[in-house]
A and B are shown apart, each in its own frame.
Chain A
């Protein structure tokens, strides 16, 4: 028996599904996050050059990946929203933006905390740092434009269009380290060859990467549910859900 996944593009079908899935994703994210942090902070060996300060990598790198990954998801969802006018895609794109902005903030702050002991400065105008800052501005632009419209669906389409334009920036963020290599260390993880990172340090990093992804899905499900209730407030299914006794 094939399950028709397209059915879940309708807010009415998606709402209960997201409600069922969110706690599972959140629980898994919590367990993996705890395991990853435990191995990363307490079990993994110290770096022979950076000592224990390198352990910020376990927060910094997963957040940095998420900041770009969520922007990519937002861009794809925006294309779907702008081209096919699917309401759920608009919701996914717009509710991803604050989560992505939060991860970008975490990346910038943790990077700054890492930069102080390693480079002796909180901030430097290195290409990668600057690109990450620009990414934050792009997120803020999308969030700002979305909230500036009276009509939320028009706001979602305009902000989604802006997100699509900003997607050009995400590859620049990712490859900038190769373009203008300055102070930031080069990538240490290479999926298609030998990584330059010790396996003991790589495993907790990958576990935490998975944990942040799962957290994102859980958070997105819950945000989307809240947003759908507000967007669909005058629809019959919301009335039945919220106040079945007065539903028409």
Chain B
């Protein structure tokens, strides 16, 4: 049996996950529109005064991103768990940590990245000034991968559990709090004319920690789930 390189396997897995997401477009779009609708509801509930909207925009967009990313998590491993793919990944000779990392990356590409790309449009709805808009995009770009990486642990832990969805919220949302604080904090600081660098640096640090520990912890959680 010839050795297959890890890079080749990772590329194949990435391609497979993206293809599956493309075939199940409706699911991906649901997350995306959930984000857009939740954000759009706030002006209707709170009132459309521009100064109020500017003040709440960072929090609203970030909380909506948290919820949207959490909703999408149930699809990260659930189908692969049901049809046995996950078991094959665990049994394969390749390191599970890398394979899980690839899956998380694919998941972020289809659920996290669209949120980053649509954020400027939502900022316009909330009359967010230009520089703060840039910081919003940057903070989401650093923060949404964190959400996928942290959420992946929760998604793996709740595999095969009854009432998984609501439980997942209870597990994952408290762990999301630092990302929310620094993400929304960066945008608020920038909107108030202060430098956002410190918040963004902390967000970047969180991302680095999550990049190292997220796949490791997720792989361990997948193994626990498949016992």
Which residues of A line the B interface, CB within 8 A?
82, 134, 137-138, 140-141, 144-145, 148-150, 154, 157-158, 161-162, 165-166, 169, 172
Known: A145-B157, A148-B167. A161 touches B174 (CB 8 A): no
Contact partners of A144 in chain B: CB under 8 A: 167, 170-171
* Interface of B (DSSP majority class): helix
The answer, among A134, A140, A154, A158, for a CB contact under 8 Å with B170, is A140
- A-B contacts, 17 of them at CB < 8 A, read A134-B177, A137-B174, A141-B170, A145-B158, A148-B158, A148-B162, A148-B167, A149-B161, A150-B162, A154-B224, A154-B227, A158-B221, A161-B217, A161-B220, A162-B154, A165-B175, A172-B178
The answer, among A145, A150, A166, for a CB contact under 8 Å with B167, is A145
Does B163 sit at the interface, judged by CB under 8 A?
yes
The answer, among B157, B163, B170, B178, for a CB contact under 8 Å with A161, is B157
Contact partners of B164 in chain A: CB under 8 A: 148
The answer, among A141, A149, A150, for a CB contact under 8 Å with B171, is A141
Complex formed: what's the CA distance from A162 to B173 in Å?
13
Looking across the interface, which residue of chain B has its beta carbon closest to that of A154?
B227
Which residues of B line the A interface, CB within 8 A?
153-154, 157-158, 161-164, 167, 170-171, 173-175, 177-178, 217, 220-221, 224-225, 227
Q: Is the CB of B227 within 8 A of A162?
A: no
Contact partners of B175 in chain A: CB under 8 A: 165-166
List 8 extra interface pairs beyond A144-B170, A161-B217, CB under 8 A: A138-B174, A141-B170, A141-B174, A145-B161, A148-B164, A157-B227, A158-B221, A165-B153
User: Chain B nearest CB: distance from A83 CB in Å?
Assistant: 10
Query: Which of B163, B170, B173 has the most chain A CB atoms closer than 10 A to its own CB?
Result: B170
Contact partners of A137 in chain B: CB under 8 A: 170, 173-174
Complex formed: what's the CA distance from A241 to B167 in Å?
37
Complex formed: what's the CA distance from A145 to B163 in Å?
10
User: Chain B nearest CB: distance from A109 CB in Å?
Assistant: 19
Complex formed: what's the CA distance from A144 to B163 in Å?
10
User: Chain A nearest CB: distance from B147 CB in Å?
Assistant: 15
User: Chain B nearest CB: distance from A218 CB in Å?
Assistant: 29
Complex formed: what's the CA distance from A141 to B174 in Å?
9
Complex formed: what's the CA distance from A217 to B175 in Å?
29
Complex formed: what's the CA distance from A89 to B164 in Å?
25
Known: A145-B157, A145-B167. A158 touches B174 (CB 8 A): no
Looking across the interface, which residue of chain A has its beta carbon closest to that of B161?
A148
Contact partners of A154 in chain B: CB under 8 A: 224, 227
Contact partners of B170 in chain A: CB under 8 A: 137, 140-141, 144
